[in-house]
Chains A and B, each alone.
Chain A
Amino acid sequence: MSRIWRSRELLVFLLLILLVLVVGLINPNFWRARSLMHILNSSLILILVSIGEMFVILTRGIDVSVGAILGLSAVILGVALNAGVALPLAVLLALAVSVLAGMVNAVGITFLRVPPIIMTLGTLGVYRGLMLIITGGSWIETIPTSIKFFANWHILGVRFFIWVTLVIVIFTALLLRRFKKARYLYAVGDNEEGARLMDIPVRKTLFTAYTLAGLFAGIAAIIFVAQIGFVPMQAGNGQELRAIAADVLGGVNLTGGVGTPLSALVGAIFLTAVDSALVFVKVPGYWNNAVGGAILLAAVYLDYRVRRAVAAQQRQARAAVRKENNHLNPSTREEQA
C-alpha cells in the first residue's frame, strides 16, 4: 500500500502522459513541442503557489490566502515599478511584502492560536482589500517593459522562468530530503503530540511553513507580472484552491506528513494541461472551472479512499493480533489454577 502511495507522483505523471496522448490523437497540434512548452510555461505560477501551500499542508494546516498574497505582491511590484523604483529593488519589495503577509498568518496561527482556515480566510479578505485600497480599484497597466523582458528571455531555447522554477523545485526537493529541520515539517504534520514530546519546536515549524507559503506566492507574483505585463484586480483569484487541488492530486496528504515538491509540480502541470487540453479539443473556455473542480473532487475522493483502505488494513491487522492471542494465550483459568 505504502509503495503505491509513495509513487503517487508517478501515477499522476502517467495520467498526464495519457492525457497528452489522447488529446494529441484528437488534435495532433497538441503534440508539438511548442504546445507542451506552452503548458509548462503557463503552469509555473501554479507550481510555485502549490509548493508554498505544500509546506503548510505537510504540517496538517491549510492556507487559503496564498492567492490573495500573490495578488497583493503583484500590486506592490506593479506600483513600485510604475513609481520608478529600480527593478531589483521592486522585486525585493514585492517578496518582502509576501513574506510579511505569510508571517501575519503565522503569528495568528501559532501565537494567537486562531485555526488556520479561519486565520487565512480572514487575511484572504484583508489582502484582497489592500489591493483595492492601494490601487483604488483600477488595474495597474503600462508597467515598464524591463520586467517583461525576462518572460521572453530564452536560455538554451527554454524560457528563463522555466529554468528558475526548475531550480527552485530541485532546491526545495533536496532541502526537504536532506535538511534536518525540514523533517520537522513532516513530523509536526504526522504526529503533533509526538513531535512536542520529542522536543521539536512545533510553533517555529508552523511559523516557517506559513511564512514560506507567503514567500512562494510572492515569487509566483513576480512571474505573473512579467508574463502578463499588467495587474488586474483578480490577480491570483482562486489560485489557493487550485494549489490545494494540485497538491492533493500530486499526493500531498491533507491529513499532514506526506508529500514532496514533486507532488506539487506534477499536480500543477496536470491541472494546467487539462485546461490547455480543453482548448485543443475545442471545449469552450467556460468549461475550465467545472472540469477543474470535478478533477479536484476526484482527487480528494481518491485521497479519502486511500486513507480508508489504510485504516481498514490496520483494523484487520489488529483483529489478527487478537485472534492470534486467543489461540496462543492459554486461557487464564489454566494458568491460575
Chain B
Amino acid sequence: MAKPATPSPDHYDPQSDKTPLVELKNIWKVFAGVPVLKGINLNLRPGEIHALLGGNGSGKSTTMKILSGVYIPERGDIFIDGQRRVFHSPNEAHKSGIYMVPQEPHIFPHLSVEENLLLGLDIDVGEAREKITRLAQEIGFESGLSEEAGSLSIANQQLLEIIRGLLRNAQILILDEPTSALTFREVEHLFNRMRTLSQRGIGIFFISHRLNEVMDISHRISVLREGRIVLAAPTSELNSQKLVRAMLPEDADVREVERRARSAQSREASEVALDVQHLSSDAFQDVSFQVRAGEVVGLAGLVGAGRTEVAEAVVGLDPHARGRVFIKGQDVKKPDARRSQSLGLVYVPEDRHAHGIFLDLPSLYTMTATILDRLGRYLISRKQEEVVGDSYREQLSIRMNSLYQIARTLSGGNQQKVVLAKALASKPDVIILDEPTRGVDASARQDVYHLIHRLAEQGVGILLISSELEEIVDLSDRILVMYQGRIIQETQRADISLQKIMAAAFGLQGEASL
C-alpha cells in the first residue's frame, strides 16, 4: 500500500498485497481433549517462502497436516485463492494444489523414479514423460528416471517428492524439516531450487529448526508456541535473538528468579558415578560427559538431536557405539546392557510401552522383573516379592487397586511410576531417565519431580533427558545441550537460564547476552 518498498536484492516483496494463495483462519485442533492449536491464523502469498518455527509440540506440524488434509480441524476455515475449502484427505488437498513433502520422503523404494512419479496419476504416459523431463531439468534432478528410488540419496528423494507435487500442479508446497538429513552442499542446492520455485510464483511453507537456514531462505517467519502464533514478521525485520525470545514461555523471567532463589548445592566434591568418554555412533559424535553421585545432569535438545541415542549407547544397547564408558570407575569395555546394569546403571526408556513395562501382566511383575534372583533361591517367594512391591507402591504413591492390577489398566502416570519402581528396585547408582514425564498427568508429574530430588539426595547420579526445557532447567544441577549429534554447550547450575538452553537447542551458542 502506501508503504515504500524497501530495496531488496530478492525479487519477492513481503509487503506486497497480492491475494494469498492460501489463508488459514482461526484454526483449532484438539487431541484427546487437549487443544494443540488455539486459533491459528496464517497465510501464504504467491512466490513466498514462509518459515514456521517453534519448539517440539508447538503445533507447526499439526497446522501443516491440517492444511494438507491429513487432519481435520475442530474449528476454523481454509481459503484457497479466496475460496473456502474443506479437506477430508490428502488427495483433496492435492487437487487444490497443496503438496506436502514429509520429513521422511514417502517414496516407493523398489520402484523406479519414473514409476514413483507416475503412480496414481491419471495422465498420458508420453505427455507425462515430457513434463517430468522438463521439471527434472528445472529442479536440477540429475538421477536417471529408471533408477530404483530406494537407491537415491535423501536429497534426491526429496526432489523426487517435489517433482511429484509439481506434476500434480501444486501451487503450495510444504517442506517439513527438509534439511535435517542433508549435507551442507545439498542444503545449498535445495535452497537454490526453492528460490527458482518461488520465482515461478509457487508458495512454500518451510519448517526448520535451524535458525540460520530460516533467516537465509525465508521471506517471512511465523513463530508458534503452545498452539498459537506468537510472532509473525518479514524476515528482514527479525534476528535470531528475537526468534528465540518468541519461542520462550512468557513467564520465563519470573521463573528464572524463583529458580535462583532456591539454594544451589555444589556437587563438585562427590565421586564420579558415570564417566562417558568420546562416545560416537551413527546418530552422534564424540560425546563426553560425567555424572557425579547425587547430581542431576540434564540432557537437553530438540527431538532428533541424538539424546535418546546417546542414552542407549551409554547403557550398551547400541552395538555400533565406539568410545568408553566407566561406571563408578569400572570400564564397561564393550556395549553390554547386562554388565552396565550389574555395575549399577539403569535406563528408563522414553517409550515405556515398547521397552519398559509388561502391559498385560500384573504391575508387580514389572516392578520386580530385574531383581528376581533376589526373591528366593529357586522359586520366586511371593511374600518377598510383595514386600518389595508394597515398599515402592508407598514410596512412589502409586495408585492401584492391588499389586496385581494389570498394568494396562493403570493411568499413564501410575504406569510410569511402576517403570520407575522397576528401575529403583535394582538399587542403581546411576539412573538415566528419558522423558520421564511424557504423557503423565500434573500430580504424577510432581511425584516424579520429588522422586528425582529424593534420589539425588540419596546420592544417586541422574541423567535426565527431556524435551521440556522448563522441566530440565528446574531440576538440573548442570545441563548439557545436544544439537545435531553433538554436545554443544555445558552450563553449570549458576548460569542456567531458559533462554540460554533454548538458544543452544536451536544451534546458537555463546549468546548469554540475549
Chains A and B bind each other: yes
Interface of A with B (CB < 8 Å)? Answer: 2, 183-184, 186-187, 190-191, 193-200, 253, 257-258, 315, 317-319, 321-322, 324-326, 328-329, 332-333, 335-337
B503 to A, closest residue via Cβ? A336
Tell me which residues across on chain B come within 8 A of A333, comparing CB atoms: 509-510
Q: B470: shortest Cβ distance to chain A, in Å? A: 24
Contact A318 B282 (CB under 8 A): yes
Using CB atoms and an 8 Å cutoff, list the residues of chain B in contact with chain A.
89-91, 94, 106-111, 115, 119-120, 148, 150-151, 153-154, 181-185, 212, 240, 282-283, 285, 483-485, 488, 507-511
Establish whether residues B108 and A197, one from each chain, have CB atoms under 8 Å apart when the complex forms. Answer: no
Main secondary structure of the interface of B (DSSP, over half): loop
A197-B90, A332-B483 known; A321 and B154 CB under 8 Å? yes
Q: Which B residue sits closest to A319, measured CB to CB?
A: B282
A329 contacts B184, CB within 8 Å?
Answer: yes
Q: Are A190 and B151 neighbours in the complex by a CB distance under 8 Å?
A: no
- What's the least CB distance linking A256 to chain B, in Å? 9
How far, in whole Å, are A329 and B183 apart by their CA atoms in the complex?
8
Contact A198 B119 (CB under 8 A): yes
Residues A194 and B108 in contact, CB atoms below 8 Å apart: yes
With A321-B154, A333-B510 given, is the CB distance from A315 to B184 under 8 Å? Answer: no
- CB A326 to nearest CB in B, in angstroms, measures 7
Q: How far is the CA of A191 from the CA of B91 in the complex (A)?
A: 17
Min distance, Cβ A189 to any Cβ of chain B, angstroms: 8
A187 close to B111 (CB less than 8 A)? yes
- List 8 A–B pairs whose Cβ atoms lie within 8 Å, in order of A's numbering: A191-B109, A194-B108, A198-B119, A200-B120, A321-B183, A324-B183, A336-B508, A336-B510
B110 lies within 8 A of A258 (CB): yes
Q: Are the C-beta atoms of A322 and B282 separated by less than 8 Å?
A: yes
- B residues near A317, Cβ cutoff 8 Å: 153
> Which residue of B115, B119, B184, B240 has the most chain A CB atoms within 10 A of its CB atom?
B119
Interchain nearest-CB distance for B87 vs A (Å): 13
- Among A199, A325, A332, the residue within 8 A (CB) of B94 is A199
Taking a contact as CB atoms closer than 8 A, the residue among A183, A190, A196, A325 that contacts B109 in the complex is A190
Q: In the complex, are the beta carbons of A187 and B119 less than 8 A apart?
A: yes
Other-chain contact of A183, B111, B282, B508 (Cβ < 8 Å): B111
Q: Is the CB of B509 within 8 A of A257?
A: no
Question: B108 near A199 (CB under 8 angstroms)?
Answer: no
Q: A326–B89 Cα gap in the complex (Å)?
A: 40
Establish whether residues A335 and B110, one from each chain, have CB atoms under 8 Å apart when the complex forms: no
In the bound complex, do residue B507 and residue A322 qualify as a contact, i.e. CB atoms below 8 Å apart?
Answer: no
Would A336 and B183 be within 8 Å (CB), given that A190-B108, A322-B485, A326-B285 are in contact? Answer: no
Q: Which 6 A-B pairs have the closest CB atoms?
A: A194-B106, A199-B91, A328-B184, A198-B120, A190-B108, A257-B110
Name the distance in Å between A179's Cβ and chain B's nearest Cβ.
Answer: 12
Known: A325-B184, A326-B285, A332-B212. A186 touches B148 (CB 8 A): no
B348 CB to closest chain A CB, in angstroms?
A: 26
Give CA–CA (A335, B212) in the complex, Å: 8
Closest to B105 in A: A194
Chain A residues whose C-beta falls within 8 Å of the C-beta of B283 in the assembled complex? 322
Q: For the complex, what is the distance from the CA of A269 to the CA of B488, rounded to whole Å? A: 60
Q: Which residue of B lies closest to A201 (CB)?
A: B120
A22 CA to B485 CA, complexed, in Å:
55
A337 CA / B91 CA spacing, docked (Å) = 45
Specify which chain B residues have a CB less than 8 angstroms from the CB of A257 in the assembled complex.
Answer: 108-111
Whether B150 and A183, one on each chain, are in contact in the complex, defined by CB atoms closer than 8 angstroms, is no
Beta-carbon contact of B150 and A200 below 8 Å: no
In the complex the two chains form, is A332's CB within 8 Å of B106's CB? no
Are A199 and B90 neighbours in the complex by a CB distance under 8 Å?
A: yes
Question: Is the beta-carbon distance between B509 and A332 smaller than 8 angstroms?
Answer: yes
New contact pairs (13) apart from A184-B119, A322-B282, A332-B509, CB-CB < 8 Å = A187-B111, A190-B110, A191-B107, A196-B90, A199-B91, A199-B94, A199-B120, A317-B153, A321-B181, A329-B183, A333-B510, A336-B212, A336-B510
Q: Is the CB of B240 within 8 A of A336?
A: yes
The answer on a CB contact under 8 Å between B111 and A186 is yes
Q: Inside 8 A of A186's CB, which chain B residues have their CB?
A: 108, 110-111, 115
Taking CB as reference atom, which chain B residue is nearest A330? Answer: B184
**Residues of A contacting B185 with CB < 8 Å?**
328
Taking the closest CB of chain B, its distance from the CB of A208, in whole angstroms, is: 16
Q: Is the CB of A194 within 8 A of B509?
A: no
Contact A2 B107 (CB under 8 A): no
Does B106 contact A200, Cβ atoms closer than 8 Å? Answer: no
A260 to chain B minimum Cβ distance, whole angstroms, is: 12
**Assembly CA distance A253 to B148 (angstroms):** 16
Partner of B108, one of A191, A253, A336: A191
Chain A residues with Cβ under 8 A from B184's Cβ? 324-325, 328-329
Query: Which residues from chain A contact B182 at a C-beta distance below 8 Å?
Result: 321
| Alpha-carbon separation in the docked complex, A319 to B120 (Å) | 33
B483 to chain A, nearest CB (A): 7
Cα distance, A184 to B119, chains bound together (Å): 8
A94, B359: Cα distance in complex, Å? 48
CA distance in complex: A313, B228 (Å): 42
Q: A332, B507: Cβ atoms under 8 Å?
A: yes
Q: How far is A333 from B508 in the complex, measured between Cα atoms in Å?
A: 7
Contacts of B154 in A (CB 8 A): 321
Q: Which residue of B lies closest to A334 (CB)?
A: B509
Question: Once the chains bind, are A190 and B282 in contact (CB under 8 Å)?
Answer: no
- Chain B residues contacting A191 (CB-CB under 8 Å) are 106-109
- For residue B185, which residue of chain A has the nearest CB? A328
Q: Is the CB of B115 within 8 A of A183?
A: yes
Least CB distance, B181 to chain A, in whole angstroms:
7
With both chains docked as a complex, state the minimum distance between the C-beta of A142 and any C-beta of chain B, in angstroms: 50
